[in-house]
Amino acid sequence: MQPIFFADARAPVTDVANWYQPEMSLVAKLEKLIDESGVLDFISSGDIVAVKTHFGDRGTTRILRSVFLRKISEAVKERGGKPFVTETTGLGLLKDRSTAVGRIEIAEENGITHQTAGAPVIVADGLLGLDYVVAEIDGKHLKRVHVAKGIAEADAVVVATHFKLHMRAGIGGSIKNIGVGCVAKPTKYDIHVPNPPRIIAEKCTKCGKCVEVCPTDAIIDFQIDLEVCVKCTGCREVCEYEAVEIQPWLLGEEIAERVVEATKGVMDVVGKENFAFLNFMIDVTPHCDCHPFSDSPLMSDIGIFASKDVVAVDKSCLDRLVESPKAPDALIDGFWQNTAPERQLNYAAELGLGTLNYRIIEI
């Protein structure tokens, strides 16, 4: 039974005459949770520590707030570590979120800066999302995982996750924060699409825009050289004639399994023992922070779950999600259609990333 340490988001007023109770703040509870659980105590003096969160997109308003990141950064420093707050780029080349420049601008717009988060803010997979270290794995779907270089080189990773639903992975917990969030573009592509991109000759007008945008000069005679292509999807973004085919986008069990295999690749490189997980079940939205908008939360805030086990921490949150009353207008069914969140957890356990058995210890 893996212990999951839990801080309740609710702040019951025990003394109605005393409105000033700063210890009731969830930020204060986070500090207590980190100290009493000991989940960050593996950090050694001088360790460079990635605090991995989701920066959201322009218009996303329910990402993990910087006050929590700041508290995590402080806790890392107290243990002698050198934290940096990090994220990776999204697929594509043209959208703001697709490059490190845009990612940092979005982070600032959403309140995550060195000043607010208490640590430098660094994009882990480089300017274009093509800085990576390759991990060889023997997955059912993936054989190579392109681990973001800034994650691969870190001594430790604190996975700080806004737990929510996800339109393809089912849930966006710690597993997804690593499997999708700690990899560079080639593996982001491989998670979502099993086939490489290809140019459909009958549709191609030979306008040359894709050739211009391709960061690896992979397009020769209007065909993609798959030995050189890094699957950034930039060619599809610029093509006005829908001549670049990228399909099928996966759903259900297969994408759940691909996310898990990518997670395994990242954890193999960094070392499973060098991770800690903090899942925040607050503002649980029906979709991921990558959406350029935020919906109403599905349910009341639950609290923070801390663990050294990536499977157990996500399982405990999924269980709470399922059993908790939902808001009357919650969009849960629509967004969960055709996803397989249970498969994500079961497969992660099968691959030895953690255990499905846990017990909650409330602090």
Nearest to 141 by CA among 263, 272, 309: 263
Integer Cα distance of 116 and 55 in angstroms = 13
Cβ 187 to ligand SF4, closest distance in Å? 13
Residue closer to ligand SF4, measured from CB, 190 or 289:
190
Alpha-carbon dihedral sign for residues 155, 262, 98, 51: negative
The number of beta carbons lying within 10 Å of the beta carbon of residue 124 is 29
Cβ 74 to ligand SF4, closest distance in Å? 40
Residue closer to ligand SF4, measured from CB, 113 or 216:
216
Residue closer to ligand SF4, measured from CB, 235 or 340:
235
Residue closer to ligand SF4, measured from CB, 9 or 211:
211
Q: Which two tokens stand for residue 232?
A: 């950034």
Integer Cα distance of 49 and 44 in angstroms = 10
- According to DSSP, residue 238 is labeled H
Integer Cα distance of 362 and 3 in angstroms = 10
Cβ 291 to ligand SF4, closest distance in Å? 23
Residue closer to ligand SF4, measured from CB, 243 or 310:
243
Residue closer to ligand SF4, measured from CB, 43 or 244:
244
Cβ 226 to ligand SF4, closest distance in Å? 8
Residue closer to ligand SF4, measured from CB, 130 or 331:
130
Please report, to the nearest 10 degrees, the dihedral formed by the alpha carbons of residues 196, 200, 201, 205 taken in order. -110
Residue ranges binding ligand SF4 (CB under 6 A) = 197, 199, 204-210, 213-216, 218-219, 222, 224, 229-235, 238-239, 241, 243-244
Phi (first) and psi of residue 62, to 5 degrees: -120, 30
Residue closer to ligand SF4, measured from CB, 30 or 243:
243
Contacts of 334 (CB under 8 A, 6+ apart): 286
Cβ 232 to ligand SF4, closest distance in Å? 4
Cβ 33 to ligand SF4, closest distance in Å? 42
Q: Which two tokens stand for residue 69?
A: 């990141």
Contacts of 72 (CB under 8 A, 6+ apart): 30, 34, 51, 83, 158, 160, 278
Buried b (16+ CB within 10 A) or exposed e, 48-61: ebbbbbbbbbeebe
Cβ 182 to ligand SF4, closest distance in Å? 21
Residue closer to ligand SF4, measured from CB, 170 or 197:
197
Cβ 341 to ligand SF4, closest distance in Å? 29
The number of beta carbons lying within 10 Å of the beta carbon of residue 68 is 21
Q: Which two tokens stand for residue 135?
A: 């991990």
352: left (phi over 0), alpha (psi -120 to 50) or beta: left
Cβ 239 to ligand SF4, closest distance in Å? 3
